Amino acid sequence: MEIAQALWTLECFLPEDWPGVACDALEQGRDGPALRQLTGLLGPTHFDIRDLVPKAIADAGLHPITERTAAIRYAKFISQQIVDGGIKPLRGAIKLARIFNSVIECDSARSVFTRFYVLEDDYQLAAYGGGGRGTVEDVLANIREAARKTLLLSEDA
C-alpha cells in the first residue's frame, strides 16, 4: 500500500489498479470503509476514486506524504529490486526515468530520478552505437551503483 500511496502522490498510479491494491490491503489485515468500497469498483476512473483513495490510505493507517517522500520511497523500492536482482537494471532505470517527467516541478523529488534518466540515455547510446559513457556493461554497473546509493537516502530529509 505504501508504494501505491507514493505513486498516487506522484500522480503516476492508474485508477483501475486501486481495487487490487485495496484487496491486498484487506488481505494484510488493514480495513476500513473506503478500502472496502475500492475493492468493489470495476474499471474505475480518476473521477470515481479521487475522493476515495485518500480515505483508503487513511483506512490503511498511512499518513499523507510529500511529493519528495513519495519519490524517494518509490525510488528505493525499485532500487532494492535492482540490487536484489528482482528486476533487470535497465528495466529499473526505465521505470525510474519515466517518473522523472512526473516530478519535474518538484526540484527535490526530481533530483532523485535524474541519475536514472541520464543512465537510461547512456544505455541507449552505448547499446546502439551513439557514443555515450562507456560500454553497455559499464552503464549497467553504473545503474546498480546508483541503485545502491539510492537505498541510502532518507525519506524524511
Q: What pLDDT, in 10s, does the model give residues 116-129? A: 888 988 998 888 87
Average confidence (pLDDT) over 47-51: 92
Comparing 9-18, 38-47, 103-112, which segment has the lowest mean pLDDT? 103-112
Residue 31 to residue 26: CA distance in whole angstroms: 6
Helices (H), the chain: 2-9, 18-27, 33-39, 46-49, 52-59, 67-84, 89-102, 107-127, 136-150
Asked if residues 17 and 5 have their Cβ atoms less than 8 Å apart, the reply is no
Name all contacts of 39-44 with Cβ < 8 Å and 24+ positions apart.
Answer: 43/16, 44/15, 44/16, 44/18, 44/19
Segment 1-19 shows an average pLDDT of 90
| pLDDT per position as a tens digit, 68-80 | 888 889 999 999 9
pLDDT at 131 over 70: no
Tell the residue number behind the cell numbers 526515468, with chain if given: 97
Domains in the chain: boundaries: 2-59, 74-150
pTM of the model: 0.85
Least confident of 10-14, 105-109, 131-135: 105-109
Q: Any idea which residue has 468493489 for its cell?
A: 40
43 φ, ψ (degrees, to nearest 5): 55, 50
